[in-house]
Amino acid sequence: MRRFSLPLSALAFCLLCACSTVQQPAGTPLPSTQPTGTETPAAVSAAPAQAPAPEWGEQVYMTAYAVEGRQSPVFAPEYRLPKITNADGVPAYEAINAAFAATLSDLSATAAELSGWAVDDYKAAQITGDTFYTYVDTESYVIAFESGEYVSFLRTHTSSAGTPLPTTFPVGSTFSLTTGEQLRFADLFTCPESDAAARVFSLLLEQNGQGAYMGAPLPEEELTESFQPEQFYLTESALVFYFPQSDVPSAIGSPTFAIPYEELSDILALSL
85-144 tens-digit pLDDT: 999 999 999 999 999 999 999 999 999 999 999 999 999 999 999 999 999 999 999 999
Query: Predicted confidence band at 271 (pLDDT cuts at 50, 70, 90)?
Result: confident
Please answer whether residues 11 and 77 qualify as being in contact, where contact means their C-beta atoms are separated by less than 8 angstroms.
no
185-272: which CATH topology? Actin; Chain A, domain 4 (3.90.640)
Residues 191-206: what's their mean pLDDT? 98
The structure's pTM equals 0.80
Cross-strand pairs, 240: 233, 258
Note whether 8-17+51-183 and 185-272 share their fold.
no
**What pLDDT does 49 receive?**
66
**Residue 270 reports pLDDT greater than 50:** yes
Give, as one character, the DSSP assignment of residue 71.
S
Domain spans of the chain, in order of start: 8-17+51-183, 185-272
Q: Give the Cα-Cα-Cα angle 140, 144, 150 (nearest 5 degrees).
A: 115
Cross-strand pairs, 137: 159
**Residue 25 reports pLDDT greater than 70:** no
Average pLDDT, the chain: 86
Return the CATH superfamily for domain 8-17+51-183: Fervidobacterium nodosum Rt17-B1 like (3.30.565.40)
**Residue 260 reports pLDDT greater than 80:** yes
Query: Predicted confidence band at 162 (pLDDT cuts at 50, 70, 90)?
Result: confident
Please answer whether residues 144 and 233 qualify as being in contact, where contact means their C-beta atoms are separated by less than 8 angstroms.
yes
